[in-house]
Chains A and B, each alone.
Chain A
Amino acid sequence: MSTNRLRRIVIVGGGTAGWMAAATLGRFLKNRYCEVRLIESEQIGTVGVGESTIPQMRTFNRMLALDENDFVRRTRATFKLGIQFVDWTRIGHSYIHPFGPFGLSMEGVSFHAYWLKYRLLEPTTDLSDFSLQAVACRRGKFMRAINAGNSPLSNIAYAFHFDAALYARFLRSYAEERGVVRTEGKIVHVEQRGEDGFITAVVLESGERIEGDFFIDCSGFRGLLIEQTLKTGYEDWSHWLPCNRAVAVPCESGGELTPYTRSTARKAGWQWRIPLQHRIGNGYVYSSEHISDDEAIATLLANLDGAPRAEPRIIKFVTGRRKKFWNKNCLALGLASGFLEPLESTSIHLVQSGLANFMTLFPDRDISPVEIEQYNRTMTWEFERIRDFLVLHYHANERDDSEFWVYCRNMKLPDFLQHKLELFRAHGRIFRENNELFNDTSWFAVMIGQNVRPRAYDPLVDVLDEAELRYRMQHIRDTISRCADVMPTHREFIEKHCKADLS
């Protein structure tokens, strides 16, 4: 038994990130391995922007061994098969970025390569016809995968839309059952060790002093420990992602329960629409240099499905990342670690990924700089690659209707993205690197959706002659369409399996 083990971990802040951390530690630190305390104040609100998720979240839920139907009921969740992007490429245009693959690879060559050639033969072909998830989005259908051999129904990728506040509450009871102790209180002072600046304790308004060997900063944008105490510094990415505010408002839901998030590009940013069982979450992410708060609010309110259910709330942010996600004995998660707008619903994933990487480098009291460096290297890669994928959405546009979009089209890109675009423009090829989050399917969906055009298709696809290619493409499309036929509607599925008690 190591005598050097952490005796107490203190989590500061109880939003989604804080309770995700608490639940994870509760799950893995068994046998009273060490104490875990979470400090939060009911006076401080939480920012629940990230109500839409990606399929990796199911790994997190499985890791906690959550019952999925129970989770859906208790967070009033709905299912998500992808994102619909409206008006991004140009006004009046829309496309779907679905989860899961398009078609299937043939003769060792990717479906994407074949489709690029097929489009030359059939210029009206719609890429989304080749994704079961995308077709189900269009038809408002949903079901979980079934065991159906090599049918697309055996492999349905999905995620959730849920109420972040309810999720935090759900995880709180999970964590408390596993020994995590919650303390109500506001932190007024942070104590550091003289010799190396490590954090030793936080002091609450009540005067209570809570010591710890390790601290997890989930205090949100302000970064109480990582920034205010440790002065870690912040790398600003707003030259690539110029939006710096959001206004959010929930509204009544009316009509169909869509199994996808919608993102609609607006004059100076974009609007999200996230359907829950009991309401719809909406928000307008915008650049304050290009539009006033009042105009943003008015635009948002004019574009709701139903009556607003609260006052619009404005959130200010600076896109970027903390220079170190882990500094000394403090790990930052969630908004304390950095901010990327929820355009591809990655906020919760970044918390999850931060936790997963932390658990693989779980320290003892003798914290190793080599391991901290490894953590920071991995998370920097994770943040930067997501950033590049988001920048692609802004950059590859054909809109001339506002200064904002013209700026985005002409801005200088990060090298990695520039390289990906150039490779894609050559033969439509995409290579996923070092486990970057978004795979070739995601990149392909957005590249094609935003009309990035390769100069030529992959010559290897010429092994199939045109007649054979047409035949196979038709066959894939028909198979997918028939699969979607047998799926229940999203609403039917929820009613049957996991309807929330809304009383």
Chain B
Amino acid sequence: MNTDPIRSVLIVGGGTAGWMAAAALSRALGRSVQIRLVESEDIGTIGVGEATIPPILTFNSMLGIDENDFVKHTNATFKLGIEFVNWAQVGHRYLHAFGALGLDIEAIKFYQLWLKLYRQGHPHYIDEYSVSAMAAKLGRFSPPTLDPRAITSTIAYAYHFDAALYARYLRRYAEHHGAIRIEGKIVDVRLRGTDGFIESVVLEGGETLEADLFIDCSGFQGLLIEQALKTGYEEWTQWLPCDRAVAVPCDSGGELTPYTRSTAHTAGWQWRIPLQHRIGNGYVYCSRFISDDEAAATLLANLDGRPLAEPRFLRFTTGRRKKFWNKNCVALGLASGFMEPLESTSIHLVQVGITRLLALFPRRGFNPIEIDEYNRLCTRAWERTRDFIILHYHATGRDDAPLWEYCRNMSIPDTLRRKIELFRTSGRFFREDDELFVDSNWVAVFLGQKIWPATYDPLADALDSRALERSFQHLRTMIRRAVEAMPSHQAYIERHCSAVT
């Protein structure tokens, strides 16, 4: 097997995925490997994933990006979680906040203790024990403190940002680190006769670009991974039937909420992502149950302010590429598969792909063992994320529309069914496959979607209920004080990172 090093990488497509890859690779590989990115100004990018989750902080810090600088240049705001409206039933809302839920006592999970007290009539919902959730409700923001004894160390957050500006920001970063951008439209992909590896791509003007490794960030079309390599696609539409979205930005008015909002409608759900200068909105829907016109009308009728553009429609098929890495081509972003941004995982999945690629970075021999490992690890990450998203649809009490009827009654993946059964039994959760979402995430959504355990951890009875009530009271007081001492989200941004434009 050829153990010569990779000399050149060609990234095809310059949306968020493409520039994230270019930035990370130029940071990790230095100038020992030539990194080029080909993109065309004629081809638009799809910036659906403007909301993110906390691991984005790891990605930015790996690049050595200064947070305030990044926020200023991407019109970003801070995100402490997601508010789900009308999901469990019409008129109901809950928060899936980042960060810890309460504090464990005597090695018993906080939420177990809470379940016990709540059943006995304790009047406070569990999110009153999460600093992030309480800050979100009051429109406050402050990053976590470092002292692990302080309750404010349990805050976790992410960002909302303008994906086009983020791509531009990363482009500057990548070019500064030696990546080369090429303007051009690809008209042909040439494969090597012997093994079908990609040899080169041909641009409209006739220029040929060769590379050892290709990264396909060409979006839904999958120019290399699918059109050239015929990798195949696994559909997940039986579990996630939405297949379209209509998006529109609008004027922001009023308070700058430090969270994403997801509102369930009759045939899908609407996102609301606040940026510094506008609000991103979209309706993800199932075309079986609603027409495009009706979806657009619903979206336009549910905006905070005046629309700033014409509504734009997207079509997609939820699922994943059968191989994320095939021969000498790695697919990232929409070229690798699609999952609706209900839990803001789009950018994270690009990040997972990049991190795993670096962890398994090949030599020119492209060891199949390592390619298999990459595909195995990415498949797990996608499937466990998929399960979490399905949970939102499946665990609903809504019976007002055929979409919700379908989702409530559909058969679900075994991995998810087991998690639900375990939680229903006595509120237990076990993280599997090093999955992204941990117990605090799952529990927030289980409870938010009204899956109630039949009982709670019996060990909670080994603790005295009155003493528990006292420590709960104390915790609420600490959290309230901490949150009241935090600046408003707006004030925090004005002080540290107001947008440059």
Chain A residues in contact with chain B, CB under 8 A?
1-2, 4-6, 28-31, 33, 63, 107-109, 359-364, 366, 368, 370-371, 374, 378, 419, 422-423, 426-427, 429, 431, 433-434, 455-456, 458-460, 462-463
Question: In the bound complex, do residue A362 and residue B457 qualify as a contact, i.e. CB atoms below 8 Å apart?
Answer: yes
- Decide: A107 near B430, CB < 8 A? Known: A29-B462, A362-B458, A426-B370: no
Cβ of B500 within 8 Å of any chain A Cβ, yes or no, is no
Question: In the bound complex, do residue B62 and residue A108 qualify as a contact, i.e. CB atoms below 8 Å apart?
Answer: yes
Cβ of B29 within 8 Å of any chain A Cβ, yes or no, is yes
Chain B residues in contact with chain A, CB under 8 A?
1, 3, 5-6, 28-30, 32, 62, 106-107, 358-363, 367, 369-370, 373, 377, 418, 421-422, 425-426, 428, 430, 432-434, 455-459, 461-465
Question: In the bound complex, do residue B462 and residue A364 qualify as a contact, i.e. CB atoms below 8 Å apart?
Answer: no
Instruction: Return chain B residues, CB-CB under 8 Å to A374.
Output: 422, 428, 430
- Decide: A6 near B458, CB < 8 A? Known: A108-B62, A434-B433: yes
- Decide: A368 near B425, CB < 8 A? Known: A5-B458, A63-B107: yes
Query: With A and B bound together, what is the CA distance between A5 and B359 in angstroms?
Result: 48
Which residue of B369, B421, B458 has the most chain A CB atoms within 10 A of its CB atom?
B458
* 6 nearest CB pairs, A to B: A456-B3, A33-B462, A463-B30, A426-B367, A364-B458, A368-B425
Question: In the bound complex, do residue A33 and residue B461 qualify as a contact, i.e. CB atoms below 8 Å apart?
Answer: yes
User: B362 — nearest CB in chain A belongs to which residue?
Assistant: A459
Instruction: Return chain A residues, CB-CB under 8 Å to B462.
Output: 28-31, 33
Main secondary structure of the interface of A (DSSP, over half): loop
The 8 Å CB contact of B32, one of A30, A33, A463, is A463
Instruction: Return chain B residues, CB-CB under 8 Å to A362.
Output: 457-459
The 8 Å CB contact of A463, one of B29, B421, B458, is B29
Instruction: Return chain B residues, CB-CB under 8 Å to A456.
Output: 3, 363
Instruction: Return chain A residues, CB-CB under 8 Å to B370.
Output: 423, 426-427, 429
Query: With A and B bound together, what is the CA distance between A29 and B426 in angstroms?
Result: 18
What is the CB-to-nearest-CB distance from A471 to chain B, in angstroms, rounded to a whole number? Answer: 17
Question: In the bound complex, do residue A371 and residue B360 qualify as a contact, i.e. CB atoms below 8 Å apart?
Answer: no
Which residue of A28, A63, A363, A459 has the most chain B CB atoms within 10 A of its CB atom?
A459
Question: In the bound complex, do residue A361 and residue B369 qualify as a contact, i.e. CB atoms below 8 Å apart?
Answer: no
Instruction: Return chain A residues, CB-CB under 8 Å to B421.
Output: 370
Instruction: Return chain A residues, CB-CB under 8 Å to B464.
Output: 31
Question: In the bound complex, do residue B455 and residue A2 qualify as a contact, i.e. CB atoms below 8 Å apart?
Answer: yes
What is the CB-to-nearest-CB distance from B351 to chain A, in angstroms, rounded to a whole number? Answer: 13
Query: With A and B bound together, what is the CA distance between A388 and B352 in angstroms?
Result: 28
What is the CB-to-nearest-CB distance from A23 to chain B, in angstroms, rounded to a whole number? Answer: 14
What is the CB-to-nearest-CB distance from A254 to chain B, in angstroms, rounded to a whole number? Answer: 43
Question: In the bound complex, do residue A359 and residue B28 qualify as a contact, i.e. CB atoms below 8 Å apart?
Answer: no
What is the CB-to-nearest-CB distance from A204 to chain B, in angstroms, rounded to a whole number? Answer: 28
Question: In the bound complex, do residue A360 and residue B361 qualify as a contact, i.e. CB atoms below 8 Å apart?
Answer: no
The 8 Å CB contact of B360, one of A28, A108, A429, is A429
- Decide: A422 near B369, CB < 8 A? Known: A28-B462, A463-B29: yes
Instruction: Return chain A residues, CB-CB under 8 Å to B30.
Output: 462-463
Known: A4-B455, A459-B361. 10 other contacts (CB 8 A): A1-B461, A2-B455, A2-B461, A6-B458, A31-B462, A108-B62, A364-B455, A368-B426, A370-B422, A460-B361
Q: What are some 8 contacts across the A-B interface (CB < 8 A)? A: A1-B465, A28-B462, A370-B422, A426-B369, A456-B3, A458-B361, A460-B358, A463-B28
